[in-house]
Amino acid sequence: MYLIKQMSKIFSLFLVILFLFSACKIARKSQEKASLSTNRKPNVIIILADQWRAQATGYSGNPDVITPNLDKLAKQSIVFNTAVAVMPVCTPYRASLLTGQYPLTHGVFYNDKPLPNKALTMAEIFKDYGYSTGYIGKWHLNGHREGEDTYERRKFPVKKDRRQGFDYWKVAEVTHEYNNSFYFDEHDQKHTWKGYDAFPQADSAISYVRKNKNNPFLLVLSWGPPHDPYFSAPAAYRKMYDPSKIHLRPNIPKELTDTARIVYANYYAHCTALDEALGRLLDALDREGLTDNTILVFTSDHGDMLFTKGALKKQRPWDESILVPFLLRYPATLSKKERHINAPINTPDILPTLLGLCKLKIPASIEGEDFSGALIKEKKIEDKAALVMLPVPFHEWNFMKGGKEYRAVRTERYTYARDLRGPWLLYDNLSDPHQQVNLVNDPAYLQLQQQMEVLLKKKLNKTKDKFLPADEYMKQWNYRYDYTDSLRPADYYLSKKNN
C-alpha cells in the first residue's frame, strides 16, 4: 500500500512537471508569435472593386444597400470620407494606383493603353524589400498594340513581362462576365472561376494568405463588379432588394426614377455579394492570426453616376463618379478604432502612404503624398485638394456624347472644374451635397471661384500639366483614338473659335 501511495505521488509530480513544461512551451510560442507580429514587415492587401461609388455603403449612411462586413470593417478602420479617383475611369486609375503618379506622367489617360514596362510599380518596390507579390482578378493595364481591336485584345493572357512585378497571378485583362468567367495563371493557362467569380477569387486570396503567412506579402484582389452589367449578381442577392423601396438621390431626373430603382436594386445586389466575399477574407485573416500585422485597404477605381443628372457610369467630375469608398485598417500601428478623415486623399497618394506605413523608402518617381505620418500621429489633415482630370474623353462619354476635356479640384467642402473654355462647375458640397446648384460666375461667389482657380492652377503647375486639347496628348504619346472617339460635334469647333 505504501508503495502504491509513493508511486501515485511520483505520477502526480510528473503530471505537474508535464503541465508546467507545456505551459512554458505555449507561452514561448505565443511570445515568438507576438515578436514575429511586432518585428516583421506588415503584409499589405488591397481589395479593389470596380465602379463602386462612395455613396453605396451602409457605413456611409445609405439606407438600402446591405454591407454588414464593410460596416464592421469601417468600425475598425480609418474611413476616408473624401477619397477621390484622380481620373475616374478604369485603366488610368489603376496605373496611378500602381505607380503613385498622375495620368499625364505615366501616360495612361485612356482605357486600354499599356502601362509602360519602364514604370516603377508597387509590386516591384515591395519585392525589393523581400515581399511576395500576388494579383487576382481584373488587371486592365496590358493595353493593345496598334491595329488590334480594343475589346478582342482583352481576351488574351497578360505575358510575364507585362505583369509589373506581380508573381502569383490569377488574372483576366478585362471581363464583365461575372459568372463562370475566365482567367489565366502564371503559365498563361486559361481557367474558369466557377460560379460568381468574386467568391472563388476570394478563396484564391485566402489560399495565397495561408501559403505566405510566414513571409511579408503584397496582394491585390481586384473584383469586376459592381461594374455593369447590373443584372448579373446571383439570384439570392437580387432577391434581397425590392426596387419599389429603393431611396433615390434628388439629383436624378423624375422621368428616370422607375428605371433607376430597378438598376439600383441590381447594383446593390452586386455590392452585397462582394460584401460576403470580403467577409470570408476578413475571417481568414483572423483565423491565421494575421489581422493585426496586415495593412488592409478596401476601395474602388471610380464610382458610377447611376442616373445622376441623367447619366450612367463615370469620367465626369461629379461626386457620384469621382468619390469612392476607402477604408484602411492596420491594428498594429493605427489601432482598431474607427476614425473619420474628411480631407481628400487622391489616387497617387495611396502607394506612398502604404510605403510610409511599412517604413519603406518612397522612390523619387512617386508624385503622390505620404499620409502615413498624420495617420500614425492622429493629426488633423487640413488644406488639401485632390486633382481630378480628363485629358481625353472617350468611349461612353466621348465628344459626340457630350464628353469634354476638363481639370478639377475636390476639397473637403468644394468642387471646382474648368474646361478648355473656362470655369465650368463650382459647388459648395456642404450646403449642396447633391451638387444641384452650379455657382460658377455667380457674383456672390466670385471670390471663392477665384480662390479655387488659384488652387487648381497650383495643382496643374505642380504636376506640370499644361491643360492642352485632347489631340495634343494623343500625339505626344503616339496613341490612336478608338472607333469614333476622335469625332466632335459641329458646335465644339465653333465654341472654341468664339472663345
CB contact at 8 A, 94 and 173: no
CB contact at 8 A, 294 and 46: no
Q: Is 137 exposed, middle or buried (0-12, 13-18, 19+ CB in 10 A)?
A: buried
| C-alpha cell of residue 148 | 488590334
DSSP string computed for 113-136: PPPPTTS--HHHHHHHTT-EEEEE
User: Is residue 90 among the annotated active site residues?
Assistant: yes
- Maximal CA-CA distance, the chain: 116
DSSP string computed for 259-273: HHHHHHHHHHHHHHH
In sign, the C-alpha dihedral spanning 54, 56, 60, 61 is: positive
Q: List, in sequence order, the alpha helices (H) in 358-413.
A: 372-377
Give the length of the chain: 499
φ/ψ of 406, rounded to 5, equals -155, 165
CB contact at 8 A, 274 and 49: yes
| C-alpha cell of residue 239 | 432577391
Bridge partners of residue 340, in order along the sequence: 79
Q: Exactly one of 90, 144, 358, 395 is catalytic; which is it?
A: 90
Rounded Cα distance between 254 and 260, Å, is 10
- Return the exposure string of 255-284: e unless at least 16 CB atoms fall within 10 Å of the residue's CB, then b: ebeeebbebbbbbbbbbbbbbbbbbebbeb
Q: Exactly one of 106, 140, 144, 302 is catalytic; which is it?
A: 140
User: Is residue 340 among the annotated active site residues?
Assistant: no
Q: What is the 3-state secondary structure (H, E, C) of 428-457?
A: ECCCCCCCCCCCCCCHHHHHHHHHHHHHHH
- Tell me how far CA of residue 41 lies from CA of 60, 143, 215, 264, 475, in angstroms: 31, 33, 9, 41, 43
Do you find a cis peptide bond into 443, omega within 30 degrees of 0?
A: no
Q: Which residues are catalytic?
A: 90, 140
